[in-house]
Amino acid sequence: MKQAIKKEQRHEAILSSLAKLDYLTRSQLQALHNLGSARNASRVMKSLEPYVTKFLDGEAVYYLTKEGRERTGAKKVRKRTIQARHFIMRNDLYIALGCPKNWRNEVKLVVKDVVSIVADALFVKDGRYYIIEVDNQQKMSVNKAKITKYRKMVELGVFKTEPRFVWITTTEYKRKRLLELCKGLDAKVYLASEFH
């Protein structure tokens, strides 16, 4: 009886994670839910059919089916897509930063009619904003425009404490370029390869 309850709680926790984070790799699920070996993680995820489905992108990538969305109350329909890599990179940061409880994805920040921007994610820790940005296949001109908007928000005194900008990107060249663009801001840039 206890075993069945524990199994059900684990299933609910996994489905909730997928509802919140959209796409999760097998290794991310192992890290988030202590699933042990790759073989055990795959077995646990197989037992969650028909609520989850997967595709391969280096490793298994899981997301909710229609039944999974209905069970969790998730509204967004996710499909197999190349954009999933963007979500996976963002989730690597979510895990690396300790799974902040107040983490929110796709947050629109608006300062009257002056500046408007959508952060890939953000959370607050000790009264300080952490703004998450993912650069998977984005043009550097788009990143530059975003950084300019963030700089404007800092100059306007939008944040009580200077925010920390946390980026994840794909190449050493892009990391150096982002750090140059963020000069004067509190910014940290990770490479996606650091997490795998």
Looking at the structure, do residues 110 and 163 belong to the same domain, yes or no? Answer: yes
- Is 151 inside a domain boundary? yes
- Is 94 inside a domain boundary? no
Q: What pLDDT is attached to residue 3?
A: 80
Indicate the number of domains in the chain: 2
Do the beta carbons of residue 114 and residue 152 sit within 8 Å? yes
- From CA 109, how far away is CA 22, in angstroms rounded? 21
CA distances from 62 to 82, 162, 186, 188 (A): 13, 36, 34, 28
Looking at the structure, do residues 111 and 62 belong to the same domain, yes or no? Answer: no
Q: Consecutive 10-residue runs of the chain (196 residues): their mean pLDDT?
A: 82 94 96 93 94 93 95 89 91 95 93 88 94 93 95 90 96 96 96 87
Looking at the structure, do residues 118 and 57 belong to the same domain, yes or no? Answer: no
Per DSSP, what are the bridge partners of residue 25?
61
> What's 57's domain CATH number?
1.10.10.10
- Last residue of one domain, picked from the residues 35, 64, 80: 80
Looking at the structure, do residues 135 and 58 belong to the same domain, yes or no? Answer: no
Looking at the structure, do residues 113 and 184 belong to the same domain, yes or no? Answer: yes
Q: Which domain holds residue 143?
A: 104-195
Q: What pLDDT is attached to residue 67?
A: 94
Q: What pLDDT is attached to residue 113?
A: 78
Query: pTM for the whole thing?
Result: 0.90
- Last residue of one domain, picked from the residues 46, 80, 114: 80
Q: What pLDDT is attached to residue 180?
A: 96
Per DSSP, what are the bridge partners of residue 135?
none
- Is 24 inside a domain boundary? yes
- Is 90 inside a domain boundary? no
- Last residue of one domain, picked from the residues 32, 48, 80: 80
- Is 96 inside a domain boundary? no
Q: What is the pLDDT of residues 73-85, one digit of tens each?
A: 888 889 888 889 9
- Is 56 inside a domain boundary? yes
Q: End-to-end alpha-carbon separation of the chain, Å?
A: 37
Looking at the structure, do residues 118 and 67 belong to the same domain, yes or no? Answer: no
- From CA 57, how far away is CA 117, in angstroms rounded? 30
Looking at the structure, do residues 75 and 130 belong to the same domain, yes or no? Answer: no
Looking at the structure, do residues 58 and 113 belong to the same domain, yes or no? Answer: no
Looking at the structure, do residues 71 and 112 belong to the same domain, yes or no? Answer: no
Q: What pLDDT is attached to residue 125?
A: 93
- Is 36 inside a domain boundary? yes
Q: What pLDDT is attached to residue 82?
A: 81
Looking at the structure, do residues 42 and 6 belong to the same domain, yes or no? Answer: yes
- Is 95 inside a domain boundary? no
Assign 184 to helix, strand or coil: coil
